[in-house]
Chain A
């Protein structure tokens, strides 16, 4: 095989710009009662797509907010019957209700697989590069069934079946992905991720085992409680590190197994780069929360001073109640927004940056003769994902 010089993927997006777009979108969601979220998703995707250039040509996102809105309305049609079933179940005896709720939970889990696939279809079919559209075929139902039963197997085997699930689902996704009339292929399998997964699994299992041992042989109740406390303190970072290690390896190896005809991609994402993004997120989140706490406290002090003045009239008490309510609701919304907003800026955007920074594409020229296929105008694609809260990017 002739040695090809790789083409780099360039990402020119800045976190500050994304932050600005998100902040504006979050604020606009207030007067529009949340409806602006469809426009925010669109502007966010434009940011990612427009800033990503392959071979010097930027990606283009052709989807619109109205399509997302209409898709969401479609999804409501699916949810209303489920809602009625939930309502009916609440009248039944506890056995029937328990079984019914369990079945409904399984149905929602199943539907989320369907929604994820349709959402991916929506995004791909609205991605344009060099005038040619990506697409996803295959059956969302088929994907949902696979994901559903694989995830049950993963649960039953205590996670050991996970590499098989990952291999299977990655293969399904990518062998049904198209660029124009050219089909992607996937050279990976469970073996691609087996080693990093089982290594991470084993490290976590050994640590968890040690904690259980410490708990079992701890002398006395106090020592037991201490062993639980210290155990949790150790296990959470271990689990986080194992997750980041695995995620970096899965991203690198699985993406590198994706081929598009003669073109292939090579990605090397390091676990420590991922960890860096999370640490940055943690620091900024902490800073944001501290600042918000100080501001909230200052406002509360300002209004409380009138109460401390001894004016206990009903109107004053009621006003204090309103101030408390506004502070509480505002603080709640601000805190929630800080978590998601900074999460998008540092973790999601950081991940996109890492993947594009460390991606090299080989034999990009082989795509020159790819031809376009017909348009995909289906809009029902992503509404369900939005309704189920499983949307991404």
Chain B
């Protein structure tokens, strides 16, 4: 039975049915392609130069080297396909070589991507740190200004934004300012932080790029001692000193780039990209929290307050929240138990200073009652407030 196939020469679209025969008489065996009716020879293909192409399971499609790229023989049906397979000796080798090549490329590019990710995870805090060092502090301050309105709107929507005490000369504000100056002393930070006590139902405190920090009244209500207060403040000022807001922004930009590469959506519009980026960024935030804790512990040793008080406050707030305990490794914050151990260890290593109490009893009482008589309607005008805030670095 003659071997039939569909033949196209790769130069004209006219396709024809051909009959095939193998010429073994020459040194390199050749496939003779001839017309089905006239048996006129059309072409001769060297058998060992024939390679197979991806095709439908019902057919075998082959091309040949040294002919136009579109030159094809197509065998259809099980019988012609198996005969064709036995004719072309190199077919399997070509196919295996191609499959091996694809596998190698896929394997190597995956390895390359893995090493990029590992390098990223290890290196991004370093990169973010270095880049932050060259970002002018004015940029960071402007970044704060840009989102000032946003933060106020968010807090305002929760039932009114109000600064507890506007008077910078009041006992409480003067004490906070003195404490802030003592904390910042010797840190070489380009910023002069200002801490705002703000009326809010959310127990939180956070630092903003550019230097300032918010301390919410609900957190103040849960703060039972001056040392706890000092601990939270020192922690937030640690974010300011280490410019974590800026680092976080740089890190999340880099993460977006990486996740976009993995998922193939550089616009990061898809939900998958957003979730992926958040998961990676949370790890970075936790490193920042540890660094701020370390700063707080060092400050505590230097100024002579109890570094573990910060952990005591954190535990008080988190106590009722079993869910947050079990999912803490996912959140931006390390487990409070872990933080307590770390804080206490750091406190043990430090040499306690002879510095007196950070706040006098009168000062602490004034601070504690700062937000007691605030009417939540005094929304400060954005242009009056100093150049700071934005990109909350949620903390506590």
Residues of A within 8 A of B (CB): 12, 31-37, 39, 46, 50-51, 57-58, 60-62, 65-66, 69, 72, 75-76, 79-80, 83, 86-87, 90-94, 97, 108, 128-133, 179-180, 314, 317-318, 320-321, 324-325, 332-333, 336, 367-372, 375, 386-389
Task: For the complex, give the distance between the alpha carbons of A50 and B55 in Å.
Answer: 6
Residues of B within 8 A of A86 (CB): 253
Q: Report if A37-B13 is in contact (Cβ < 8 Å); known contacts: A58-B55, A60-B61.
A: no
Q: Which of B106-114, B163-171, B287-295, B303-311 contacts A (4 or more CB under 8 A)?
A: B106-114
Q: Report if A76-B261 is in contact (Cβ < 8 Å); known contacts: A369-B13, A372-B12.
A: yes
Task: For the complex, give the distance between the alpha carbons of A80 and B261 in Å.
Answer: 11
Task: For the complex, give the distance between the alpha carbons of A94 and B110 in Å.
Answer: 40
Residues of B within 8 A of A180 (CB): 13
**Among the listed A39, A46, A97, which residue makes an inter-chain contact with B106, where contact means beta carbons less than 8 Å apart?**
A39
Cβ-closest chain A residue relative to B56: A50
What are 20 A-B contacts defined by CB distance under 8 Å? A36-B106, A39-B106, A51-B56, A57-B6, A57-B74, A72-B264, A83-B256, A91-B135, A91-B140, A131-B11, A131-B70, A131-B72, A321-B326, A321-B327, A321-B330, A325-B330, A332-B275, A388-B266, A389-B264, A389-B265
Task: For the complex, give the distance between the alpha carbons of A37 and B109 in Å.
Answer: 12
Residues of B within 8 A of A35 (CB): 106, 109-110, 113
Q: Which 8 A-B pairs have the closest CB atoms?
A: A131-B8, A131-B70, A321-B326, A370-B13, A368-B14, A50-B56, A387-B266, A317-B326
Cβ-closest chain B residue relative to A65: B102
**Among the listed A31, A65, A131, A320, which residue makes an inter-chain contact with B10, where contact means beta carbons less than 8 Å apart?**
A131
**Among the listed B70, B260, B264, B328, which residue makes an inter-chain contact with A372, where contact means beta carbons less than 8 Å apart?**
B70
Residues of B within 8 A of A371 (CB): 11-13
Known: A93-B145, A131-B10. 9 other contacts (CB 8 A): A35-B109, A65-B105, A75-B266, A83-B253, A90-B249, A91-B135, A92-B142, A133-B69, A332-B275
Task: For the complex, give the distance between the alpha carbons of A370 and B326 in Å.
Answer: 69
Q: Which of B44-98 contact A (CB under 8 A)?
A: 53-56, 59, 61, 68-72, 74
Interchain CB contact under 8 A, A130 and B15: yes
**Among the listed A34, A76, A132, which residue makes an inter-chain contact with B262, where contact means beta carbons less than 8 Å apart?**
A34
Cβ-closest chain B residue relative to A333: B272
Tell me the smallest distance from the CB of A124 to a CB of chain B, in Å: 14
Residues of A within 8 A of B74 (CB): 57-58
Tell me the smallest distance from the CB of A116 to a CB of chain B, in Å: 14
Q: What is the 8 Å Cβ interface bit string for chain B, positions 312-346, against chain A (1 contact, 0 not)?
A: 00000000001001111110000001000000000
Residues of B within 8 A of A79 (CB): 260, 266
Q: What is the 8 Å Cβ interface bit string for chain B, positions 334-367, against chain A (1 contact, 0 not)?
A: 0001000000000000000000000000000000
